[in-house]
Structure 1
Amino acid sequence: MLNGKQKDIELDPARVPRHVAIIMDGNGRWAKKRMLPRIAGHKQGMDNVRTITRAASDLGVKVLTLYAFSTENWKRPEGEVSYLMSLPVTFFNKFVPELIEQNVKVMIMGDTSMLPASTQKACADAVADTANNTGMVLNFALNYGGRDELVRAAQKLVQRANDGDLQAADVQASDIDAALMTAPLGELADPDLLIRTSGEERISNFLLWQIAYSELVFTDRLWPDFSPDDLKAAFADFAGRDRRFGGIKK
């Protein structure tokens, strides 16, 4: 668990994680501490996406995956869900020109067919407008759940079997990789580092297959307060880890 202020951290560019995934938690608690409505926390959290996106890109991250809305978040009050659905529209309308300037490419994963039409259009437009960018991939998980992703992957594999394209005994991990929503990321599909803000220490149905060997960092910083210095501290923690992937180093 990372705590307290972090500053004056020097990072080895060679040890910066290539794919960073973040569970952006704590917007509601941030607002409650300030006696503000929960949506004020979500707005502040959206603004922080811009800050952390720029910081991650500047530090050399190749993929930044943000857990923006889960398949379970529909259980929240209708007004809050409606506001959360408006945030991608607001975010992309404001920041796509900046993302283009930074050479950041937008990717969306999750069941977007369930999102309001305006949200779907904003997401599709952002993906199209940044399609030719060659820098960091900003990957939003919207209406995403790890179990739902695995069910959909299983359905694809069963369909391949029904089509005669795959035998059960021949199924490999690479076949599952190819059926997941992260498949377009290729060799960068699996996060090197997963960060969760707000002090909670659980995965919450996020990237269940892909984080098999990810390093996990939990911080008590609420997402709207999570700063570029906090990101650098998490990267420094990551750089000090001995990643053996189930083996041993001589």
Structure 2
Amino acid sequence: MDGNGRWAAQRHLPRLAGHKAGVAALRRVVEAAVDEHIEYLSVYAFSTENWGRPREEVEGLMRLFWETIRSDLEKLHRDGVRLRHLGRLQDLPPAIQRAVQESVELTRYNNRIHLSVCFNYGGRAELVDAVRRIIAAGLPPEAITEEVISSYLYTHDLPDPDLVVRTAGEMRVSNFLIWQSAYSEYYSTPTLWPDFGREDLRAALESYRQRQRRFGRLTASPSGR
């Protein structure tokens, strides 16, 4: 969800105002995703590298994340949204850890849409954590397969993403679901995240539907989801 800071700068506002506008965009996109019958939506909210930003911004993002969980949880639950957290929960402030755990537990049996929030997430960190768990489990080298590695990732019970959307014209992977997105389709739009909405999502989906997904094979597998 890129472009919050640039959106704020264009309006001579503090960066946190851009992040707040980004939360409003997320609400729009979740509603639009439900209407488009998307079953799984993952959003990159805070990376393991974002701790390197100015302290004031990091603290503001933490407050915003906590406040958003508290203000939106009941509505998300009523709307049938199942919330998931992907990332290193143990490194977050205790109040946020509890809020995340409560939201995950409350919405555990919802199935209208699965919303995974990647907060304190990094693709490389996820692989490191997976390797540590595999070693701790005592698996011998010959037992390690792609399927085994996938089963130790944060996303072990989620499907791999079909489509990765980059806003604000960004063209890099940015350490996001790097194992899972090996064969994902990518779509980049110049729209800044706070301005992203229903029509932008539809444009991304329409682009996806035009792709032919071969997964390394010669026979095309037409996109239909």
RMSD: 1.1
Aligned length: 220
C-alpha contact (below 8 Å) 1:50/1:95 kept by paired residues? no
Specify the code of the residue in structure 2 equivalent to 1:205: N
Instruction: Work out which structure has the larger RCO, using CA pairs closer than 8 Å and 6 or more positions apart in sequence.
Output: 1
| 1:145, distance to aligned residue in structure 2 (A) | 0.4
Find the counterpart in structure 2 of residue 64 from structure 1.
Answer: 41
Q: Contact 1:103 / 1:134 at 8 angstroms: preserved in 2?
A: yes
Shift of 1:184: 2.6
| Deviation >6 Å, runs of 4+ | none
| Partner of residue 207, structure 2 | 237
Partner Cα separation in structure 1 for residue 57 and residue 82 of structure 2: 28
Tell me, in whole angstroms, the C-alpha distance in 2 between the residues paired with 1:114 and 1:51. Answer: 29
Quote the offset at 1:118 in angstroms.
1.9
- 1:88 and 1:122 in contact (8 A); partners too: no
1:13-24 alignment, distance < 5 Å = 24=1
TM-score of the aligned structures, taking structure 2 as reference length: 0.95
AA aligned opposite 2:40:
V
CA distance, structure 1, for counterparts of residue 205 and residue 170 of structure 2: 19
Partners of 2:136 and 2:69 lie apart in 1 by: 35
Instruction: Identify the match of residue 210 of structure 1 among 167, 180, 186.
Output: 180
Aligned residue type for 2:184: S
31, 38, 61: which one aligns with 1:84: 61
Matches within 5 A, 1:55-204: 55-161=32-138, 166-185=139-158, 188=159, 190-204=160-174
Q: Which amino acid aligns with 1:37?
A: P
1:214 shift after superposition: 0.1
Task: Give, in whole Å, the separation in 2 of the partners of 1:95 and 1:116.
Answer: 20
User: What secondary structure sits across from 2:97 in the alignment?
Assistant: helix
Q: Is the 8 A contact 1:104 1:138 kept in 2?
A: yes
Identity of aligned residues (%): 44
Give the Å deviation of 1:159: 2.0
Letter in 2 for 1:196: R
- Structure 2 stretches lacking a partner, 5+ long: 221-225
Match of 1:5 in 2: none
**In structure 2, distance between residues paired with 1:158 and 1:124:** 26
Equivalent-residue separation in structure 1 for 2:185 and 2:79 (angstroms): 27
Equivalent pair of 1:193/1:214 in contact (CA under 8 Å): yes
1:21-57 Cα shifts (integer Å, max 9, x gaps): xxx0000000000000000000000111111011111
How far 1:167 sits from its partner (Å)?
Answer: 2.2
Whole-angstrom CA distance in 1 between matches of 2:94 and 2:28: 27
SS in 1 for 2:157: helix
**Contact 1:197/1:219 (CA < 8 Å) preserved in 2?**
yes
Question: Is 1:246 aligned to 2:223, yes or no?
Answer: no
Contact 1:51 1:228 in 2 (8 A): yes
Q: Does the 8 Å contact 1:88/1:123 carry over to 2?
A: no
Letter in 2 for 1:191: P
Q: Post-superposition shift, 1:241?
A: 0.1
Asked whether the 8 Å contact 1:71–1:145 carries over to 2, the reply is: yes
